[in-house]
Amino acid sequence: MGADDAEVDRPCLTIKTVPTENAFAFQFSDPHPHQGGNDMGTTRKGTRRASDHHPQDEFQYHIHLKKGDVGRYVILPGDPGRVPAIASFFDDAREIAFNREFRTYTGFLDGIKVSCTSTGIGCPSTAIALEELIKLGADTFIRVGTAGALQRHVKLGDICISTAAVREEGTTRQYVPLSYPAVADLDVTLALRDAARRLGVRHHCGISHCKDAFYTEGAEDLPIARENDMKWEAWHRSNVLATSMEAAALFVISSIRRVRAGEVLAIIGLTYDDAPIVAKVGIDEAIQTAIEAIKILHRQDAARESTR
């Protein structure tokens, strides 16, 4: 479980209309369509062309953003379709860019500039988004995603707040040795926990599992099916709460780049059961938990800065 785009439906949220940054659409004329824009070269409202920017703008190649486009605090869903729903909680939200899987809205929460950028599925694209957002000055990240439960006490519709992640993926091995832990930032994790408590959301805090392949759970036709089954049993016995596909990159890169990151996951499937994915449960609660956590973090940050 855990790939946002594998959901069978979109979350049911009551959202307000969020306008795009511009009232007109840019025409894509990139001679290399696989290097930016959509692959068919069609018009997309509110997005930008790479040719509209210059090196001095510090324009980021994949996310199509530059300095000033994003706030310090950024929410990271996987699904670009979920970005407008999250941004509906912002004041004065605008779509800033939409390139490939990377869609960004920016607005305000309690007067502070905040953003929401989708990462796509998995650690490789998450690493790209995170690296480029950090270059633009963002330093606090909360991933909002979906996951499958590995423990029987974790139920459909619950949310899991990841304190760390099992690094069963390939991206972070190109950053640090496997002995390096993938750990969430303590302040962000505590803010997420406090937010869930204030909202009365059923939640769990603990280790999550991060993988590259979505279709390996119970796939008996694979050449290494027996080995996979043994691994899943090991994670279950190790009290790993849930499985998703992005946390390892988020936590490892944030740690080595000295920024803050946390993760809140909506449980939409049960790996210990043959029940189908239920896409509409827990997602609204996960989003609201992330929003409230940012408000908590902003108040804490402002208090610390005022005493310096």
Question: CA 109: distance to chain centroid?
Answer: 18
pLDDT of 218 reads 75
Let me know whether 297 and 171 are in one domain.
yes
User: Could you tell me the pLDDT band of residue 243, with boundaries at 50, 70 and 90?
Assistant: very high
pTM over 0.85: no
HSE-CB at 133 with a 13 A cutoff on CA atoms is 36
What pLDDT digit, counting tens, does each position of 49-70 carry?
A: 544 544 545 899 999 999 999 9
Averaged confidence pLDDT in the chain: 86
Let me know whether 243 and 290 are in one domain.
yes
Q: Would residue 1 count as lying in a domain? A: no
Higher pLDDT residue, 220 or 93? 93
pLDDT of 224 reads 87
In 3D space, the residue among 37, 15, 135 whose CA is nearest the CA of residue 81 turns out to be: 15
Let me know whether 42 and 126 are in one domain.
yes
Higher pLDDT residue, 59 or 35? 59
pLDDT value at 75 more than 90: yes
In angstroms, rounded to a whole number, what is the distance separating the alpha carbons of residues 306 and 308?
Answer: 6
What pLDDT digit, counting tens, does each position of 113-149 carry?
A: 999 999 999 999 999 999 999 999 999 999 999 999 9
Q: How does 223-234 read in b/e, with b if 16+ C-beta sit within 10 Å?
A: eeeeebbebbee
User: Could you tell me the pLDDT band of residue 48, with boundaries at 50, 70 and 90?
Assistant: low
HSE-CB at 224 with a 13 A cutoff on CA atoms is 8
- The number of domains in the chain is 2
Q: Would residue 9 count as lying in a domain? A: no
Let me know whether 213 and 264 are in one domain.
yes
What pLDDT digit, counting tens, does each position of 261-270 carry?
A: 999 999 999 9
- The answer to which of 127-131, 169-173, 272-276, 302-306 has the lowest mean pLDDT is 272-276
Residue 213, domain CATH: 3.40.50.1580
| Secondary structure class of 181 (helix, strand, coil) | coil
pLDDT of 52 reads 52
Let me know whether 179 and 305 are in one domain.
yes
Let me know whether 107 and 206 are in one domain.
no
Let me know whether 257 and 193 are in one domain.
yes
Let me know whether 41 and 113 are in one domain.
yes
Q: Would residue 287 count as lying in a domain? A: yes
In angstroms, rounded to a whole number, what is the distance separating the alpha carbons of residues 20 and 248?
Answer: 32
Let me know whether 241 and 282 are in one domain.
yes
Amino acid sitting at position 138: A
Per-residue pLDDT averaged across 1-14, rounded?
Answer: 44
Let me know whether 120 and 237 are in one domain.
no
Its domain, for residue 86, covers 15-138
pLDDT of 277 reads 80
Let me know whether 125 and 164 are in one domain.
no
Task: From 83, 103, 138, give the residue that closes a domain.
Answer: 138
In 3D space, the residue among 116, 232, 215 whose CA is nearest the CA of residue 168 turns out to be: 232
Let me know whether 162 and 38 are in one domain.
no
pLDDT of 8 reads 36
